[in-house]
């Protein structure tokens, strides 16, 4: 069991006066979930080599937010309206123009094996982390690199925002490893045949796929993942047994394929399928959004009119994304802008503010707590904040250190965990997000740091 305390010291550089604030913190279940076994995917080498020492790699980042974070042990990410004010990473100094990230204090930091505690000390200069701080949290070392967006970050490929937990020979989209014509966004589909993966459920030991039977019929299939159970009769390498095939209600409006895209939205627990007959959507013409609820398999459809004065994109299965009642799409012409359109009220349309980026070149991979992560393997990683309607880059240049486009499948009710694939030819295995909150420390009173003060944050974790 871990228990921690945080001390913040603000020093006025003109008078030398020191303000001190001290609070206890709570520890979330993030590390428990990082270390949780993955059935037959038992490759512990990451945890014996890449992630040791744990206090440095899995806890060696710090994040300061301007709002309190709900104190829930299963709450691993800040809400979208909580802005990042400051951050830092274990063993790393900040020699860039980034005014969010501070530096690691090697002299005062300490690991005490006799008394079983680790003390992290981070220093912030007068130009760094200015603003109001209401919550201070420990995170993965990679998460300490401005992992929630920055107005002036420089970029690095050394600390990607997702980290591999283990490779996986099981694979869930390669047809010769599933016993079906399975695929993902990366590869495409054949009407009436291809099952497209959209969600994995570790608790139910299955992967969810959908299949276009024809333009008015969709089936949902569930296949065994071998994350909790295994039969002595199954060839787990070449077959993922079919658990069930569900025929959802007939569609009232025929799909427009054409062009298509899909995603699972954890906020509503719905599968969203977006279709359009053309490669771009002209003003006053519509996307067709089909919503399928996971708990009942009930279907709703929405005609989502392009109420902007621009052509919008529909030209690949990556471009259309739905979360929390809005369709997120980009303009067709460069520089690419990001828009959100309310699916049940298309007159409500908002263009995102671009900060520290000249164009939205990536595609949406997934959403966590109202933040959509846009990535292009050859370009800049961006985070779209749906609460503030602003899109900006973190320091990490990519989700993965990869020159290939990776499809990412979420795991139901487990926002730390994702499964990556390159389509029907290979897989990247299991990955975790590295900007999780391992601890949450909401201050009794918010602290305001200004440009005439330096700041020292001391964070102690004690094993009990």
Residue with tokens 């895209």: 261
DSSP run (H or E) holding 32:
helix 30-34
DSSP run (H or E) holding 34:
helix 30-34
Is residue 279 predicted with pLDDT exceeding 70?
yes
- Alpha carbon distance 311, 281 (integer Å): 5
| Beta strand residue intervals within 357-415, DSSP E | 363-368, 371-375, 382-385, 390-392, 407-410
> Under a CB-based contact definition with an 8 Å cutoff, are residues 31 and 48 in contact?
no
Question: Residues 88-131: pLDDT tens digits?
Answer: 999 999 999 999 999 999 999 999 999 999 999 999 999 999 99
Percent of the chain with pLDDT over 90: 83
Q: What is the CA angle 181-184-188, rounded to 5?
A: 75
- Alpha carbon distance 371, 79 (integer Å): 9
404 band by pLDDT with thresholds 50, 70 and 90: confident
Question: Residues 282-325: pLDDT tens digits?
Answer: 999 999 999 999 999 999 999 999 999 999 999 988 899 999 99
Question: Residues 353-402: pLDDT tens digits?
Answer: 999 999 999 999 999 999 999 998 677 899 999 999 999 999 998 998 77
Question: Residues 38-47: pLDDT tens digits?
Answer: 888 877 888 8
Phi, psi of 33 (to 5 degrees): -75, -35
Binning the chain into helix, strand and coil, the percentages to the nearest 5 are: 5, 45, 50
Domains of the chain: 2-148+437-463 (no CATH), 175-433 (2.130.10)
Percent of the chain with pLDDT over 70: 100
Question: Residues 153-169: pLDDT tens digits?
Answer: 788 888 999 999 988 88
């Amino acid at each position: 069991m871990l228990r921690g305390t945080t001390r913040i010291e603000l020093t006025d550089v003109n008078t030398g006066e020191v303000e001190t604030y001290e609070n206890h913190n709570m520890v979330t279940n993030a590390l428990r979930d990082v270390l949780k076994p993955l059935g037959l995917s038992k490759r512990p080498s990451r945890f014996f080599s890449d992630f040791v020492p744990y206090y440095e790699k899995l806890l060696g980042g710090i994040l300061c937010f301007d709002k309190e974070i709900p104190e829930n042990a299963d709450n691993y990410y800040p809400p979208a309206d909580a802005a990042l004010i400051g951050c830092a990473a274990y063993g790393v100094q900040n020699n860039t123009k980034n005014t969010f990230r501070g530096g690691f204090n090697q002299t005062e930091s300490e690991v005490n094996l006799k008394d079983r505690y680790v003390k992290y000390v981070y220093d912030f200069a007068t130009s760094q982390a200015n603003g109001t701080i209401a919550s201070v949290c420990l995170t993965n070392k990679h998460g300490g690199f401005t992992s929630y967006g920055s107005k002036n970050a420089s970029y690095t490929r050394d600390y990607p925002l997702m980290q591999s937990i283990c490779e996986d020979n099981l694979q869930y989209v390669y047809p010769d490893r599933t016993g079906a014509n399975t695929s993902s966004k990366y590869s495409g589909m054949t009407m009436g045949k291809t099952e497209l993966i959209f969600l994995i459920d570790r608790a139910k030991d299955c992967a969810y796929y959908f299949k276009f039977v024809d333009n008015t019929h969709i089936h949902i299939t569930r296949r065994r993942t071998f994350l909790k159970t295994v039969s002595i009769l199954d060839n787990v390498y070449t077959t993922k047994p079919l658990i069930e095939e569900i025929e959802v209600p007939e569609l009232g409006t025929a799909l427009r394929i054409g062009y298509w895209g899909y995603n699972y939205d954890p906020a509503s627990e719905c599968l969203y399928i977006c279709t359009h007959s053309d490669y771009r959507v002209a003003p006053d013409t519509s996307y067709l959004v089909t919503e399928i609820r996971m708990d009942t398999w009930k279907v709703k459809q929405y005609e989502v009119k392009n109420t902007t004065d621009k052509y919008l994109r529909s030209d690949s299965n990556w471009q259309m994304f739905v979360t929390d009642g809005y369709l997120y799409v980009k303009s067709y012409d460069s520089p690419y802008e990001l828009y959100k359109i309310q699916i049940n009220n298309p007159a409500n349309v908002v263009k995102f503010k671009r900060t520290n980026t000249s164009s939205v070149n990536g595609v949406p991979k997934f959403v966590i707590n109202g933040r959509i992560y846009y990535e292009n393997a050859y370009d800049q990683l961006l985070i779209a904040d749906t609460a503030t309607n602003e899109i900006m880059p973190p320091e990490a240049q990519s989700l993965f250190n990869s020159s290939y486009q990776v499809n990412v499948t979420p795991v139901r009710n487990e926002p730390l965990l994702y499964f990556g694939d390159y389509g029907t030819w290979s897989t990247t295995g299991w990955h975790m997000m590295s900007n999780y909150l391992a601890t949450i420390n909401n201050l009794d009173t918010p602290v305001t740091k200004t440009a005439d003060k330096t700041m020292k944050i001391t964070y102690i974790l004690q094993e009990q």
